[in-house]
């Protein structure tokens, strides 16, 4: 081989072929990978919903309502206050419910318990429940994401 020759014709062609194969693989696999991901914006975001009507909930009861694609929990406490939280447990995404007897929010999946401020009392949940603002608009109870 000539010492001044940095690249042989064989090496050049091999690089060209390898590069071409890689480019072809990339051009094939990239669209497949992108195809597998769901399109963005397919889930509309909601910031406020009518969760219930006044008088619909007796004291010490609760209602699960739709907040966009996720469930929310509206509680009418025994003290007469209205509280709303995301009903998605911060542990592993199960839907929590109101335990009238103990006046706590309970997750049936892994026995996590939250108080009526959404704070963890016991069990494996690592974070409090997301709390929502509750406002009255005429006869409607409107729940909104906290600013």
Binding site for another protein (CB under 8 A): 36-38, 42-43, 64-66, 69-71, 87, 89, 91-97, 107-111, 120, 123-126
Contact in structure between 71 and 65 (CB atoms under 8 Å): yes
- The contacts of residue 39 (CB under 8 Å, 6+ apart) are none
Q: How far is CA 41 from the centre of its chain?
A: 14
CB of 128 to another protein, least distance (A): 11
Q: Which is nearer to another protein, 8 or 111 (CB)?
A: 111
CB of 111 to another protein, least distance (A): 6
Q: Which is nearer to another protein, 1 or 36 (CB)?
A: 36
CB of 133 to another protein, least distance (A): 20
CB of 46 to another protein, least distance (A): 13
Contact in structure between 138 and 50 (CB atoms under 8 Å): no
Dist CA 144 CA 147 (whole Å): 9
Dist CA 121 CA 75 (whole Å): 17
């Amino acid at each position: 081989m000539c010492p001044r020759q940095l690249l042989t014709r064989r090496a050049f062609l091999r690089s060209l072929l390898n590069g071409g194969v890689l480019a072809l693989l990339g051009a094939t696999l990239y669209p497949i990978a992108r195809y597998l991901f769901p399109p963005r914006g397919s889930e509309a975001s909601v910031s406020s919903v009518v969760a219930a009507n006044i008088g619909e909930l007796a004291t010490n009861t609760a209602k699960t309502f739709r907040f966009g694609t996720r469930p929310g929990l509206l509680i009418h406490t025994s003290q007469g206050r209205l509280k709303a939280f995301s009903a998605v447990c911060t542990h592993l995404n199960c839907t929590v419910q109101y335990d009238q007897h103990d006046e706590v929010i309970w997750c049936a999946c892994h026995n996590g318990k939250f108080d009526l401020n959404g704070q963890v009392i016991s069990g494996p949940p690592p974070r409090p429940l997301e709390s929502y603002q509750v406002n009255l608009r005429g006869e409607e109870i409107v729940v909104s994401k906290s600013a």
